[in-house]
Structure 1
């Protein structure tokens, strides 16, 4: 699956819908493996830890909040072992236009809270 192809764009749409739905239901995080299985259920075979997954997560956040005003959807996807997002999430959150601050834990907790608030009741 190559970025910019129809297959990638369709998988990206599916990632966004899965993460929006998760945010609407209280913003409980899910593992990379869980997201991979959810994507497979809707016809997109994306391995949990390789290939396009990191790009799909970054692009989901960027598409949903291109100007940095909305919470980052990728905050919902965590590593199975640690229960926290990967380093890629924190790099994205700290770069322009997002420029989130605080230590990793505080930044992530705030983002989850903002997701639940923004998507709750939608």
Structure 2
């Protein structure tokens, strides 16, 4: 699956749908494996820790908040071993136009809270 293909765009749409649904249900994080499994159930083969997954997560956040004003959907996806997002999430959250402040704990906690609040009525 390559970025820019119909297959990629369909998988991206599915990632966004899954993460928005999760955000509407209280923004409880899910693991990369759980996301991969849900994508597989929808007909998209996306390995949890390789291939297009990091690009799909970044693109889901960028598409959901192109100007940085809305919470980042990729905050909902965590590593099974730690229960925390990968370093890729924190790099994205700190770069322009997002520039989220605070240490990792504060940044992620705020992002999860903002996701729950933003999607509660959507």
How many Å apart are 1:90 and its aligned residue?
A: 0.1
How many Å apart are 1:78 and its aligned residue?
A: 0.1
- Using the size of structure 2 for normalisation, the TM-score is 0.99
Correspondence list, 1:53-64, <5 A: 53-64=53-64
Gaps in structure 1 of 5+ consecutive residues: none
The structure 1 segments of at least 4 consecutive aligned residues displaced by more than 3 Å after TM superposition are none
CA distance in 1, matches of 2:51, 2:42: 18
> CA RMSD for the aligned pairs?
0.3
CA distance in 2, matches of 1:10, 1:100: 29
Correspondence list, 1:1-122, <5 A: 1-122=1-122
CA distance in 1, matches of 2:105, 2:49: 22
Gaps in structure 2 of 5+ consecutive residues: none
Provide the aligned length of Structure 1 versus Structure 2: 122
- Using the size of structure 1 for normalisation, the TM-score is 0.99
CA distance in 2, matches of 1:49, 1:24: 25
